[in-house]
Amino acid sequence: METNEITTREKLKTYFETGKYPTESQFAELIDFFSLKDDIVTNKELVTLANNLAALDNGYILYNTSNIENEKFQIVVNSKEGEDQTFTIGKTENKDQKRYFHGSAPYAVRTKEFVIDPLDGHRYYYLNSQIDDGPTTSRLFGNNLPPVPGNFELGTVENKKFYIKISNEEFDRKINNLHTRLTFVNKTDILIEYALYGNYWSNRYISEDMVTDHYDLGDFLACFYRADLTETSKPIECRIYDADNDTLLMTASLLPGQKNTNVSAGGVLAGVRNARIECHYES
């Protein structure tokens, strides 16, 4: 029966130790060890490679583009070990492409350089990304809308997967930015984060003030919270006010003894330009 014993690097090194002369067969083993540029990969080698890839436990990017031709979109991933890895996304004809990350989680993901074509009429690029089947970040760009800036943070992958889809979309009119200022006041000692979702626009979870750049496709924003309250017995209440007239708009509760994830703030901000979020322990 045919056996396939792998010659290790350490064994190959012994062939060239001081005072030793490699035999012809040992030279042959050395040559076989190298993968040459013009070598044709056999089916057996492909299967072995596929099995090794299937066993990989690294995080990965899954990307997809639609109605994209010559445009290039660079995404940078920084691993726990501090290594930067750049992925250049191009035309995929609406098919998912998978590439693995170097190093281990967490992986911080950000944009780098987007090379795009000029768009006219009512066409815009649409970026939609998602981390571990959870939070999303979405933006329209191109035409009269501002570009996605370099070093724009798309979030941190704590587990395995980062998904991104970029498409060229046509709308029925010109689209303009709207801006809502959010002031975040956390009166607890727990990390509380909030995320906002609009039409074709969403933002990663943050714990600081922000100004949105959502779109006049719909002047509304839904708000969600997340916080780890597993180590406390105190519930937390988060309220959102219209900061222009101090009107209470909505209230949500974060429950003690558990991880609170994607907790709805209790409504939507409709046509609000200045809002204030206040979180405090319930008495």
Mind listing the pLDDT tens digit for each residue in 123-172?
A: 999 999 999 988 899 999 999 999 999 999 999 999 999 999 999 999 99
Question: Is the same domain home to 219 and 195?
Answer: yes
Q: How confident is the model at residue 15 (pLDDT cuts 50, 70, 90)?
A: low
**CA angle, 52 as apex, 50 and 56 as ends, to 5°?**
110
Place of tokens 């042959």: 28
Q: How confident is the model at residue 57 (pLDDT cuts 50, 70, 90)?
A: confident
Question: Is the same domain home to 203 and 272?
Answer: yes
Residue 134 vs residue 51, higher pLDDT: 134
Q: How confident is the model at residue 87 (pLDDT cuts 50, 70, 90)?
A: very high
Question: Is the same domain home to 191 and 269?
Answer: yes
Strand ranges (E), the chain:
60-66, 72-78, 84-89, 97-100, 107-115, 123-131, 136-141, 153-157, 161-170, 181-186, 192-198, 201-202, 210-211, 220-228, 236-242, 247-254, 259-270, 274-281
Question: Is the same domain home to 150 and 234?
Answer: no
Under 8 Å between Cβ of 181 and 211: yes
Q: CA 85, CA 79: separation in Å to the nearest integer?
A: 8
Question: Is the same domain home to 212 and 262?
Answer: yes
Question: Is the same domain home to 185 and 252?
Answer: yes
Residue 283 vs residue 198, higher pLDDT: 198
Domain tally for the chain? 3
Tokens of 81: 């070990």
Judge whether 64 lies within some domain. Answer: yes
Model confidence at 48: pLDDT above 90: no
In the chain, the percentage of residues whose pLDDT exceeds 90 is 77
Question: Is the same domain home to 188 and 143?
Answer: no
Under 8 Å between Cβ of 279 and 260: no
Model confidence at 60: pLDDT above 90: yes
**Per-residue pLDDT averaged across 163-189, rounded?**
98
Q: What is the pTM of this model?
A: 0.82
- Burial label for 107, CB within 10 Å (0-12, 13-18, 19+), is buried
Residue 111, domain extent: 60-170
Q: CA 196, CA 202: separation in Å to the nearest integer?
A: 6
Question: Is the same domain home to 128 and 210?
Answer: no
Under 8 Å between Cβ of 140 and 42: no
Residue 181 half-sphere exposure toward CB, CA atoms < 13 A:
4
Residues 6+ apart with CB under 8 A from 102: 58, 79, 81, 83, 85
In the chain the first and final C-alpha atoms are separated, in Å, by: 76
Judge whether 20 lies within some domain. Answer: yes
Judge whether 84 lies within some domain. Answer: yes
Question: Is the same domain home to 146 and 186?
Answer: no
Question: Is the same domain home to 192 and 143?
Answer: no
